[in-house]
Amino acid sequence: MTGRTGRGWEDDGWRPQVWAPSAHAVGLRTGSDEVAMVRRDDGWWAAPHTLPHGTDYAFTVDGSGPLPDPRSAWQPHGVHDPSRVFDPTRHRWADQGWAGRDVRGSVMYELHVGTFTPAGTLDSAIERLPYLADLGVETIELMPLAAFPGVHGWGYDGVALYAVHEPYGGPAAFQRFVDAAHAEGLAVCLDVVYNHLGPSGNYLMRFGPYFTDTHETPWGWAVNLDAPGAEGTRAFLVDNAVRWMRDFHVDALRLDAVHALADDSDRHLLAELADTVSALAAEVGRPLALVAESDLNDPRTVLPTADGGLGMTAQWADDVHHALHAWVTGERHGYYADFGSAATLAHALTRVFVHDGGWSTFRGRTWGAPVPPGTDGHRFVVFAANHDQVGNRAMGDRPASRLPAGRLAASAAAVLTSPFTPMLFMGEEWGARTPFQYFTDHAEPELVEGIRRGRTEEFAGHGWAELYGGPPDVPDPQSLETVHASRLDWTEPDRAEHARLLRWYRTLTGLRRHEPELASGDLDATRAVPAPDDAWVVLHRGDLRVVLHVGEGAAEIPVGGEPAQLLAAWEPVEMRPGAVSLPGPGAAVVRVTSVEAR
């Protein structure tokens, strides 16, 4: 992938271009100078000359502005101010030997750049890459990097979708990060948000019909994917995906909340993205992936486009999380109402969706569809925690702050020995006690107050008061204390209780890497046997048995064969005829001499 790529690059620099189909006049402003841009028949406007790398510029539209470039690669002054030309070829890539990685089945690790390290930058995160490789991580999933208002935030209110947030280091730092990750054998998955933009710094409607009122979303007007002018919006999003993979060598994109992409056109945007990325993968000669977050429990999401599906490489499977979390914690509030039994977890570990056409109490309607036989389990990403499931709790508290170590060990084993693609959330592997709380950095008083009020009202019901023993004192999203509290404490892994859990995670990733039965995504060959009293679940993976125990006290658990070899255990176990005895909550992985269930 050599040479400049993307719209407007020429031998002597970059010629500014912008899509503004309804504008009567568009100008290019550099400093105090402004020149008129030339309109083309396709609604694009081009500048009369090129600009070199590092030049600040902005656009005016029918006299209004100056406005940042909708496709700006670099916003060094923030999302409200001029853009800066960024030449992606200035970085000398060292990953020519990187053959890529199929993210399906790989061990993924989600992290937030701003709180992963004390410095909160991409360059400081590079220093932790050897640690992640040693942990057994194979794919790093970065929460959104697209430029957003202020300094601190989760990134889901990004407004400059082509730029890398400057406080993280900007676009050049992201190139360095991906290059360094590949040197460690780690693929990089970038979280992108195509279903909405944040409210502050969103100037897209000044240029063209990027949004439409023909659909409603939780954030108001929908992104325009099927109304007049949709061709420009669709190109804006498809080109964005291609750019991350081509200019930044990203291996995969995680697409946020695709169920909010309202698209009634003949060809859904996701299918267009899938076919475009497939063609790009063939061109660059390495695997490229799209991982969707979808709330619909619809297996069509991962069905190939040739078969009428949306063509996603994989999708998040929240039902597996809900079944596991409710089982190990006992929580039943809100959307956990239909989860919690060992039988429900067994269903999720073998059939992915708990709501697969049946009734959803939380939604008050039937929901989902069953996963067809023969579907590769690696097409579903599962986790015991992620940014949503931790950060969208009232206090941002992690499971480790409430659960005994044995239950954490069982939870980890369920994820890392499952037939799915496992994902860890930063710090989970050592039982981090630091919370991950929701934080923002907006300047507009009305917006700030609305966010504060909304968070408080959100957690006034759905059982949060019962969980916390009273109305929760929701952290102020605008406070720096909320940001600082959410940063990982890298001294924790050196403490005995945390170090022990970290060793357990390394043991499990090692087993997954070396035991073919655990690496398999064959759902049809996977069974799970639940305890009648909900105390345990035994996962059958070929000749291996993964014994998960969360009950109090010792338990003798049948494993459907004669235990022959103990591969791993959280606590010392006894192997007895046809059973394994665990002294308390925890997990064990054993090989049996027969795969026939008793």
Burial of 264 (0-12, 13-18, 19+ CB in 10 A): exposed
192's enclosing H/E stretch is strand 187-192
Nearest to 76 by CA among 97, 52, 57, 101: 57
Question: Which amino acid, 343?
Answer: A
Q: Which of the residues 256, 429, 476, 515 is marked catalytic?
A: 256
* Chain length of the chain: 598
Burial of 46 (0-12, 13-18, 19+ CB in 10 A): middle
CA distance 216 to 196: 11
CA distance 101 to 114: 26
Active site residue 574: no
Give 257-281 as a 3 state SS string. CHHHCCCCCCCCHHHHHHHHHHHHH
Nearest to 1 by CA among 240, 245, 288: 245
- What are residue 109's DSSP bridge partners? 140, 424
Q: Which of the residues 87, 157, 293, 376 is marked catalytic?
A: 293
In angstroms, how far is the first alpha carbon of the chain from the final one?
Answer: 56
Query: Is 429 in a helix, a strand, or coil?
Result: helix
HSE (side-chain half, CA atoms, 13 Å) at 300: 13
CA distance 116 to 85: 29
- What are residue 380's DSSP bridge partners? 315
CB 239 within 8 A of CB 275: no
| Torsion sign over Cα 484, 487, 491, 494 | positive
Nearest to 372 by CA among 291, 440, 302, 316: 302
Give 515-539 as a 3 state SS string. CHHHHCCEHHHEEEEECCCCCEEEE
Instruction: At 169, give phi and psi (nearest 5°).
Output: 125, -10
Active site residue 256: yes
Q: For the chain, give me the number of helices (H) and strands (E)? A: 15, 32
CB 152 within 8 A of CB 114: yes
CB 575 within 8 A of CB 554: no
Torsion of CA 107, 111, 117, 119, to 10 degrees: 140
Give start and end residues of each alpha helix (H) in 263-372. 269-284, 318-329, 342-351
Instruction: Please give the positions annotated as active site.
Output: 256, 293
